Structure formats: C-alpha cells, structure tokens
Amino acid sequence: MHTNHLINETSPYLLQHAHNPVNWYPWCKEALEKAEKEDKPILVSIGYAACHWCHVMEKESFEDETIATLMNEFFINIKVDREERPDLDHIYMDAVQAISGSGGWPLNVFLTPNAKPFYGGTYFPPHNAYNRISWKELITSIHQSFKEKKHEIIAQADNLTQHLFNANIFHTNANHNTIIFNKDDLEIITSNILKQADTVLGGFGKAPKFPQTFSIQYLLRQYYFFKNEAALQQALLSIDKMIMGGIYDHIGGGFSRYSTDAQWVVPHFEKMLYDNALLINVLCEAYQITKNKKYAEVIEQTIDFVEREMLDVENGFYSAIDADSEGVEGKFYTWSKKEIELILQEDASLFCAYYQITENGNWHEETSLKEHTNILFIKQDIELFANENNINDVEALKNKFKTNKHILLNYRNKKIRPLTDDKILLGWNALMCTALCKAYAALGNKKYKALAIANMNFLEEKLFDVNNNWQHTYKNGIAKISAFLDDYAFLIQAYIHLQEISSNNQYLQKAKQATEFVLENFSDTQSPLFFFTQKTQSDIIVQKKEVYDGATPSGNAVMAFNLQYLAIIFNISGWKEQSITMFQLLHNAIIRYPTSFGIWALVYQNELMGLNEIVISGKNVEQNLLQVLQLYIPNKIIQSSSQKADEIFPLLHNRIEETKTQFFLCQNYSCNIPEENFSAFLHLCNNKSLILAK
C-alpha cells in the first residue's frame, strides 16, 4: 500500500493520512528546505483526530488520486495535528481569520516557500458546492497565481506576516498604575456575563452552545462572595441543563464537546479530555456550594468514564474520542426504540419515557443515520417523573435506571467504537490531574487522590527529559516537542492542587522550579505577558501571546494565577507584582468581555477579595485536611504539615507543634490564634465569613 512521510509519526491524526496518495510531510526541516530549494508554495493542512470535517475532506479530496497528483505537482504538502503543534495552529488560524473573517478545521493555508501565509480557508468540497469553490479549482488557481504573480503574492505574505506580528503586541497602558481595582468591577463583570445568559435553557449565547465553565465558575464565586442569587441561579441552571441534555452521555458518563442546538440535546459527539476535566472542576464547586447529590453522581460517572475509556495502562490520559464510528457521526451513542426494547424488555417502557426515546426518533436533523434515531436526554428531575408516574420509591427507580444503563453500556461496548486519539498531552493531563484533586477535595474519595498522584508520577517519568525539559506529547514510549506555555501553566497549577490535597511540599518546590523556567524562557522584555513558545524556537514566523480563554484556559491567565498563589507560598513579591501587571494590562477587556477572559476574571476576583491563607499542622493532618478541603472556600491557599518546616515556606515556619493539631487562618502572613479542633476552626471561618476583603 502507498505510504507517505507521515508513516513514522505517532499522532493518530497524521497516521490517518499516512496512506493518502498526497505526498504529505509532517512539519519538519526537510519539508521547509525542500520548498525553498524547489521554490514551491507550501500547503499546510491542519486538523485533529476527532474532527468530523477533517475526515470528510480527506475522503473527498486527499484520497482522490487525480487531486493528489495536482497537489503533489503544485505544492510541498504538510499535515499538522493542531493538538501536537498548537503554536502553528494559532499562527495560521490568525492568518486565515485575517484573510476571510472566520476560521475552523480543517484549516488549509497556503504559504510562500519561506513559510509566510498568503491565502487560506477551512473545508473545501471536491466540487463547487455550499457557495464554496472546489478544492481542485482552488489549488489550480493558487498554482497559476504563484507562477504568474509571484511578486504580488510575496508582498501580500509579507504584509500579512507583519499584521500577525503587530496584532501580537499588547501595549502597556501608560497610566496602568492609576487603575483603581474595586469590587464594582466584579459586579460589572457579573452583569456582562449575565447579559449573554440564556435564562430559560441555561448557558450563554445561542446555538451552538459550549459549556463555558469559566463563566459558570465566576458566577458561583460571586454568589459565595456577595450572595448574588441571580449569579447562582444562572450557574446552576447551566449545569443542570447540560446534565439533563444529550451533551452528557447518560449511558457511559462524560461530556461531548458542545451542543449543536440551544436545548443541549444534539451534541457534536466528540469527547475531549480537557472538556471533561474543566466540567469536573466546576461540578466540584457546585457540589461544595449546594451539597446536591446529583452533582456528586455526575462527577463520579464522568471520572469513571475517563478512567474506563481514556486512561492508559501507564496512568496517562488520552486526548480525545472521535464523534464518528463506521463513518457516521454519533452512531456509537444513539439508539432506536426497538433496540432498547430488545435489550431491556419489561424495563424498556419506563426507561424510554424518562430518556425521551420514541418510535420515530428524536434526532431528525440531516444525518446519514437511519430514521428512528434517539439521543438520550431528560426533561425533568427523577423525583417529578416518579410522582407523575405514581412511583413512590424514588431510590428504587434510580437503582433500576442505574442497572438499565449498565446493561446498555455493556451492549454498547460490543459495537464498533469511535477512534480514540491516544496521544498523551502534558497540558491536558495536568488539567485532568487538577480536576481529580478537586474531586478528592469535594467528595473525599481516596481513589481520585491516588489517580492524580499516579498521573503526575507518569508525567514526570515520561515527559520530563534528561535535560530537565518538559515535552508536550507522548505516545508509544516517545516524548517529543518542547512543552508550550499552556503545558507549563497547567502543570504548575496541578502541582499546586496536588500539594493542597497531599501535604507534600515537594510539589510546591517543583511548581517553583517550573515557574522559574517559564520566567526565563517564555518572558518578553517588552511586556509582562508570556510568549506561547520558548524564545529559542526557530521554526515559526512569529512568536504569539495567547490571552483569550478558549476551549482551554489561556496559559497567560493561568500563569497570572500561579504567580499570585506562589508569591504568597514563597514570599516573592516580584511574582505578585507581575501577576497584577498582567491583568492590569487586560483590565478593560476582562471587564467588558468576561466570557472571553473568564480565567482572568477569576484571578481578578482573587486579587480583590484577598487570598485566605490556611495552615493545618501537627497531628492527624490528613483527616483534618480533608474536612477543610470539603468546605467551599474558592479564594484560599492551603498548606499543611505534620513535621517542622523549612524557612522557605513562611506560612509553615514556626507554626508546627508535632504533639497537637493546629488550624491557622491568616492573610498576609498575619494569623488568628490557632484553633485546635475542626469545629472551632469552622466557627472561626463562619465568624469571618472567610472573606477577608481588602
């Protein structure tokens, strides 16, 4: 069978294209030098393994011998997995958005032989359709233009590259020292989030709907700080509607990427590691506020799913599960009523009524699935459903449905599965590690703590190389590609949370070491914000700074949090000052556009409300620590130890008596008289409302 240069790659997405007749290269020195030597334009096609339209374009165009022949004649063709090389994806996505006003995947970008972009778009059909030029016509036209108007194209590429460079400069506000931070800003941010809220169906904005966990987290905390009922109501409504909708996998647990409709019923069925990590995070906070068992159950089911379907034997987490199986989106996750009746028999009627399964099906959009297709979702809480169906024993009904779902899961597991993208990414693993720490803190399940520690042990063993550099991706025993800012930011955050749940101060030392590496290798002398790539990286045309929170948090925003937190742990005033300068620079944007700057808003919230420093020392630390962790105190730092601590940790130093338990509540290292049991500490917290506002 024909193979191309992708055959030796580890990325599942690149390997999918290794047998295309297109002579694909990975992004590498050989391909870039070949383009310059042969004076050919470069086609860079960027996607990822769980991308539906990437699969479509591959089948329609990249597997077509005639089209492949033209591509091979006209261009040096490079395939990029956006998850392996997010730096390239960010640069060329910006270029396509500047050219066309929109972006997406697959991302197809045409570059000059020296890798500067001059034209691009997303999906192109094999024949003229959807008001789009055909791929064959486009590549022929680009080839002709490069041959006949090369100087114009090079000038266009130079202008576009300069635009990308200019767009990446964040000018420090000359008057930033005069910015007065006040709590009114937090109310304005809340108001601006709620302006976009769907107060009936939950979430924010119109379809397609994404989870927007950062906005939900901010609203939960606004309720905690200011008892803002509207904030709490919208946060919980959004969580509840997602849990009830088809975006949540009612059979196997876990969340899909987003909902294609406003009701959360029809998901785009791909499941991403990071989405599930971020949703576990926010569910933990919702549970800590409300103690609603429903949230605990969804946390447990989601972690069960991740452990069952995304955990490698070495304790690393896979990246994603595809939306398609057997070439059809959602086939693995959807059911006909006949199927359910055949499997559940006498239990089917009640199950179908609760999960909205009908004879004609509830998914009627254009799909290559046969008719009678159902997506499981619920319209009402089980208590109300039981009441309407004259069922007195709600717990028995819950248990029956639990058994039914277990039977259906076993049946589903025999079907042809969607592809699992089994590469292991440092940053996404760190997000899941943090989520497991928060799940342990909220629910007290020791399994989650053990899994978080095992995952970090794996990352340290496999993705930290002999030169003390972290690598971005790992598969088949190979770790490669220097870690990006996001990787380091999420890793440092995971170390912080691991220390909180384990009392192991070595994690803080490692967080400090990684932070020092970021400061040395990602800093910009002209700005407090960090570059996405290390300063030494040479195969990119521009160094970008990512400040928006997208599907994953902005690495800069998480670094602002890390610096804010670690500045107190290690008493490094310069780190605190840099954190403040970072969000000062974006102050107006955070307030005006909080749904795009959600993590920044959380960091700002911490700064205004103050971080409570909690120390637990002496005897029975583990048992007492868990009791404190289960409290909802979002603006906190926790350190605990049973043994005398070094001066490097000012919060612990001289605060440990090994013969007794002590709880300290501090701010700016100034502490209340220590309490010696949890009840007394809880009383102190309640008296202080644990909001020691500045």
- The model's pLDDT over 362-412, given as tens digits with 9 standing for 90+, comes to 997 655 455 689 999 999 999 999 999 999 999 999 999 999 999 999 999
Range of the domain at 53: 5-167
Question: What's the pLDDT score for residue 686?
Answer: 82
Domain termination residue (choose one: 361, 382, 414): 414
Q: Is residue 554 part of a domain?
A: yes
How many structural domains does the chain have?
A: 4
Q: Which ranges of 571-620 would DSSP assign to H, the alpha helix?
A: 573-585, 587-592, 598-609
Q: Both 274 and 286 in a single domain?
A: yes
- The model's pLDDT over 303-337, given as tens digits with 9 standing for 90+, comes to 999 999 999 999 999 999 999 999 888 999 999 99
Residue 457 scores a pLDDT above 60: yes
Confidence of residue 694 (pLDDT cuts 50, 70, 90): very low
248 DSSP assignment? B
Q: Both 161 and 182 in a single domain?
A: no
Burial of 459 (0-12, 13-18, 19+ CB in 10 A): buried
Other C-beta atoms closer than 10 Å to the C-beta of 401 total 18
Paired strand residues for 667:
670
Q: Both 475 and 515 in a single domain?
A: yes
Whole-number Å distance between alpha carbons of 288 and 217: 12
Comparing 168-177, 414-423, 498-507, 630-639, the range with the smallest average pLDDT is 168-177
Q: Is residue 658 part of a domain?
A: yes
Query: Residues for the chain: how many in total?
Result: 694
Terminal CA-CA length for the chain: 68
Contact, 531 vs 675, CB < 8 A? no
Q: Is residue 172 part of a domain?
A: no
Question: What's the pLDDT score for residue 644?
Answer: 80
Q: Both 271 and 346 in a single domain?
A: no
Domain termination residue (choose one: 167, 190, 225): 167
Helix (H) or strand (E) holding 424: strand 424-425
**Measuring CA to CA, which residue among 74, 79, 76 is closest to residue 6?**
79
Whole-number Å distance between alpha carbons of 338 and 431: 40
* 4 residue type, one letter: N
Phi first, then psi, for residue 450 (nearest 5°) are -60, -40
Q: Both 316 and 451 in a single domain?
A: yes
> Is the Cα torsion angle 418, 419, 420, 421 positive or negative in sign?
negative
Question: What's the pLDDT score for residue 179?
Answer: 72
Q: Is residue 287 part of a domain?
A: yes
Question: What's the pLDDT score for residue 693?
Answer: 34
Other C-beta atoms closer than 10 Å to the C-beta of 568 total 21
Q: What angle in degrees, to the nearest 10, is found between the helix axes of 621-629 and 426-443?
A: 100
Confidence of residue 191 (pLDDT cuts 50, 70, 90): very high
The model carries a pTM of 0.95
Whole-number Å distance between alpha carbons of 50 and 61: 18
* 184 residue type, one letter: D
- The model's pLDDT over 328-365, given as tens digits with 9 standing for 90+, comes to 889 999 999 999 999 999 999 999 999 999 999 999 76
Residue 413 scores a pLDDT above 70: yes
Question: What's the pLDDT score for residue 369?
Answer: 52
* 100 residue type, one letter: S
Q: Both 517 and 574 in a single domain?
A: yes
Whole-number Å distance between alpha carbons of 519 and 578: 10
- The model's pLDDT over 102-142, given as tens digits with 9 standing for 90+, comes to 899 999 999 999 999 999 999 999 988 777 899 999 999 99
Contact, 468 vs 460, CB < 8 A? no
Q: Is residue 282 part of a domain?
A: yes
Question: What's the pLDDT score for residue 174?
Answer: 43
Residues 16-24: what's their mean pLDDT?
Answer: 97
Residue 691 scores a pLDDT above 50: no
Residue 657 scores a pLDDT above 60: yes
Contact, 582 vs 203, CB < 8 A? no
Confidence of residue 690 (pLDDT cuts 50, 70, 90): low
Domain termination residue (choose one: 414, 435, 469): 414
- The model's pLDDT over 236-246, given as tens digits with 9 standing for 90+, comes to 999 999 999 99
Question: What's the pLDDT score for residue 492?
Answer: 98
Q: Both 659 and 642 in a single domain?
A: yes
**Measuring CA to CA, which residue among 166, 71, 158 is closest to residue 117?**
158
Residue 444 scores a pLDDT above 90: yes
Q: Both 397 and 429 in a single domain?
A: no
E-state strands within 208-259: 258-259
Residue with tokens 């025993």: 477
Which CATH number does the domain housing residue 561 bear?
Answer: 1.50.10.10
- Ranges 45-54, 499-508, 653-662, most confident: 499-508
Q: Is residue 693 part of a domain?
A: no
Q: Both 571 and 624 in a single domain?
A: no
Whole-number Å distance between alpha carbons of 214 and 201: 18
Whole-number Å distance between alpha carbons of 183 and 195: 19
Whole-number Å distance between alpha carbons of 678 and 628: 8
Residue 168 scores a pLDDT above 90: no
Q: Both 470 and 599 in a single domain?
A: yes
Query: Cα–Cα–Cα angle for 140, 145, 147, nearest 5°?
Result: 95
E-state strands within 178-248: none
Question: What's the pLDDT score for residue 549?
Answer: 94
Query: At 663, is the secondary structure helix, strand, or coil?
Result: strand
Contact, 20 vs 68, CB < 8 A? yes
Contact, 118 vs 110, CB < 8 A? yes
Average pLDDT, the chain: 93
**Measuring CA to CA, which residue among 2, 127, 157, 15 is closest to residue 79?**
15
Sheet of 117-121, strand order: 76-81, 42-47, 107-111, 117-121
Question: What's the pLDDT score for residue 132?
Answer: 81
Query: At 142, is the secondary structure helix, strand, or coil?
Result: helix
Q: Both 11 and 147 in a single domain?
A: yes
DSSP-derived pairing of the beta strands 662-667 and 670-671: antiparallel
Question: What's the pLDDT score for residue 692?
Answer: 36
Contact, 199 vs 234, CB < 8 A? yes
Burial of 73 (0-12, 13-18, 19+ CB in 10 A): exposed
* 432 residue type, one letter: M
Residue 199 scores a pLDDT above 90: yes
Over pLDDT 70: what percentage of the chain? 97
Q: Is residue 24 part of a domain?
A: yes
Peptide bond just before 106 cis, omega within 30 deg: yes
Other C-beta atoms closer than 10 Å to the C-beta of 585 total 22
Q: Is residue 694 part of a domain?
A: no
Q: Both 300 and 375 in a single domain?
A: no
